[in-house]
Structure 1
Amino acid sequence: MAENNAAEAPAKKGKLKLIIMLVIIIVLAVGLSVVGTLWFLGDGLPGSDSEDGSNGAPAEPAFVASSYTDIEKALVTTVQAQGRQRYAQVYVSFEAKDPAALQAAETHMPLIRSQLVMVLGGQDFMELQTPEGRRALAQAMLDRVNQVLAQESEPAIDRVLFRNFVVQ
């Protein structure tokens, strides 16, 4: 009986050592995989110094939300067509990162509306029916609005957006 207890004690000690060794190996494997993932997919380990000496300064600029303003009334004008009189009706919005640019656009809205109607009226009817033609119109309108704002020494807007676009 005493011999049976003595034989079981070394067997339990051996299994306990084996379990502890396996747990240590698994913990090390998980830790190394996490460190490896951070190293290869990220920009090094958290808290480590960067190589370019930027001292932890963010590489990307901070996110700045855009602001929008609408031209309340539609821009309506005739457009060039082959022998027929065609109409275009466009509802326009402006996008800018700088709220001062939108405030300036609202201040000079009568001049901007006049210029945008002239830009829209100078377009070809067939071109306005294609996505490329509409993108070109948006760019031409953006250029004209920014030209007006530059003449008034105001900040520029970033984009012209169409809320509704009808040609007939």
Structure 2
Amino acid sequence: MKVWIALLLALSLPLMAHASESEEVTEGEGAAAPVVSYVTLVPALVGNFGDGPKLKFFKADLSLRVTGADVEAMVKHHEPLIRNQLVMLFSQQTEAGMAAAGARETLRAEALKQVQDVLTQEEGKPLVEDLLFNNLIIQ
């Protein structure tokens, strides 16, 4: 009987050692890799743009990609300023500019630059890595 217990114990020790090593690796990896998250601007940005007798309207659902919970909190803190900057950018667009080929990508890049500039002025760093259109409706 003692032989069986000793044999069982001897066979289970390597498994326990392997399990504890796996936990250490997982904890180490989790601490080293910052978490990427997306801050969605809710509600969507809505406004008008263009010149001439007939105004055009836009509705933009946007998300900002950030890394780290502290950065996410800072971006949420400055959300009113970010929203203002983006509404001003969209309202300055012309109908011809919005209809051009590649206009959405150009607008996305300019919006990202504007957001990063505002956050650099406020926090000293751009904080936002990317800006994504979840939906962009122009009418």
TM-score of the two chains, using structure 1 as the length reference:
0.56
What's the RMSD between the two structures over aligned residues?
Answer: 2.2
SS in 1 for 2:123: coil
Q: Secondary structure at the match of 2:128?
A: coil
Q: Which protein has the bigger helix share?
A: 2
Identity of aligned residues (%): 27
Q: 1:126 to 1:110 in 2, by over 3 A?
A: same
Q: List alignment gaps of at least 5 residues for structure 2.
A: 1-31
SS of match in other structure, 1:145: helix
Q: What residue number does 1:163 align with?
A: 134
Post-superposition CA distance 1:139-165 (Å, at most 9, x none): 111111111111112542111111111
Query: What is the CA–CA distance in structure 2 between the aligned matches of 1:161 and 1:131, rounded to whole Å?
Result: 18
Which structure has the larger Rg over C-alpha atoms?
1
Aligned length: 107
Question: Structure 1 residues 131 and 93 mapped into 2: Cα distance closer, same or farther (>3 Å)?
Answer: farther
3-state SS in 2 of match to 1:166 = strand
Which residues of structure 1 form unaligned runs of 5+?
1-61
Per the alignment, in what secondary structure is the counterpart of residue 116 of structure 1? helix
Stretch deviating more after TM superposition (98-107 or 110-119): 98-107
Displacement after TM superposition at 1:120 (Å): 0.6
Residue type of the partner of 1:138?
A: R
C-alpha deviations, 1:56-108, integer Å up to 9, x for none? xxxxxx97663111001111111114542100110110012344332211001
Higher strand content, 1 or 2: 2
